[in-house]
Structure 1
């Protein structure tokens, strides 16, 4: 008998086209209802419910209840990271479902990856912090330095509040479009929320695209020089 992690089971769960569409839709970071996910998956609500149960049983999804409504979201950042890495492999192998276009270019520039910034600007943020000694790479891990802590304070981000969460402070995530690293973890989430709060960027409706204002992008590039 084979022992160890069952990647075949995980692969079969993610590999079903309807379930893959459900998981991809939840990469937006939003919690969605079964009917909304049915539309994303292109199947009936009844069939979607069956898919959702399988994904929940495998702990790939979690459910939240609000009044009479039930919402579904990715179980954690690890699931998001696996999906982002698989998207990167699919793109590298040329396994694309649509031709590239203006929307694709915007998605590659800046998008939400579960709860943090991805795309070209997300990669720039990570590379800049590494180059300026604010982040330090340790084997497969990444760590905020004392210089990085001061950088957070200087830019009005409450590092003390972030460190109180149970989530890892810093995590590296493989970007599917550039196939390079961007910043995940509580710190990655804090940065994205900060950009929203100060008006540099906003979410595009019904999309993973993050739209920066002209002024916001200029300030972002100044904040994260290369």
Structure 2
């Protein structure tokens, strides 16, 4: 019996991420930035020629998007749907975190667990705490899947958070990799993260997805959501 076309297409997509090098590349790009092919090769610990073949396959499959600026080639995840696919698959690994082999690695793991980006929204303990606080205050409704309430829409306006129009859902629950509980994704999650960075509530840590909550951010979180951070 012939395999249904949709099942074959699903298997082909899953096979792309079954390779450790391609998986490492996609996980790195969850930081939302565009990386050069050379940077991704070094991150995945493979030769540039080897990375190039993997990158071509991911671009051809629509998981990555490519941009060229002069002699440089930049790659990023193709969009929120691609990021959500990678993050969702990461939840099913069941593997415990790799033990840190140095004080620096242990510090970086702790920073990532405390506050980080998940593509374009807040994650880690910070992302979960914000989502819980918004739900407790009636800004989000989680009774039938996560939804923004009218009070939540008013809160966004009052806080000066602008949600960009688009085709993605307004809100979506994303299972947090370290907390194992949902954090806020979707257009509202992206807007909240963008506002936090633009206003200096959080500062990205160098060469990592980790974020540092600034004193201004701690004051904002306390005033807007009653969080002590």
Question: What is the CA-CA distance between 1:56 and the residue it aligns to?
Answer: 1.2
CA distance in 1, matches of 2:50, 2:98: 23
**Per-residue CA distance 1:148-169 (angstroms, 9 max, x = gap):** 011011111235xx2x333332
**Range 19-28 or range 213-222, more displaced:** 213-222
Contact 1:85 1:175 in 2 (8 A): no
Residue 111 of structure 1 is matched in structure 2 by 116
**Match of residue 211 from structure 1:** 212
User: Counterpart in 2 of 1:137?
Assistant: 142
2:69 to 66, 69, 92: 66
2:153 aligned to which of 146, 149, 152: 149
Q: How high is the TM-score relative to the length of structure 2?
A: 0.87
Q: 1-side partners of 2:53 and 2:222: how far apart?
A: 45
The size of the alignment, in residue pairs, is: 220
Contact 2:200 2:216 in 1 (8 A): no
Structure 2 unmatched ranges of 5 or more: none
Q: Distance in 1 between matches of 2:57 and 2:95?
A: 28
CA apart distance, 1:34? 0.7
Q: In structure 1, what is the Cα distance between the partners aligned to 2:114 and 2:198?
A: 20
Matches within 5 A, 1:1-226: 1-3=2-4, 4-6=6-8, 7-90=10-93, 92-94=94-96, 96-99=97-100, 101-137=106-142, 139=144, 141-159=145-163, 162=164, 164-225=165-226
Alpha-carbon deviation of 1:215?
4.1
Deviations 1:12-37 (A, max 9, x none): 21121111111111011100111111
Distance 1:128 1:175 in 2: 16
Question: Offset at 1:145?
Answer: 1.4
Distance 1:221 1:93, change over 3 A: farther
TM norm structure 1: 0.88
Q: Distance in 2 between matches of 1:98 and 1:33?
A: 29
- The alpha carbon displacement at 1:86 in A equals 2.9
Contact 2:114 2:125 in 1 (8 A): yes
* Structure 1: 5+ residue stretches without partners: none
**Counterpart-to-counterpart distance in 2, 1:18 and 1:66:** 25
Q: Partners in 2 of 1:191 and 1:53 — Cα distance?
A: 33
CA contact (8 A) 1:143 1:170 kept: yes
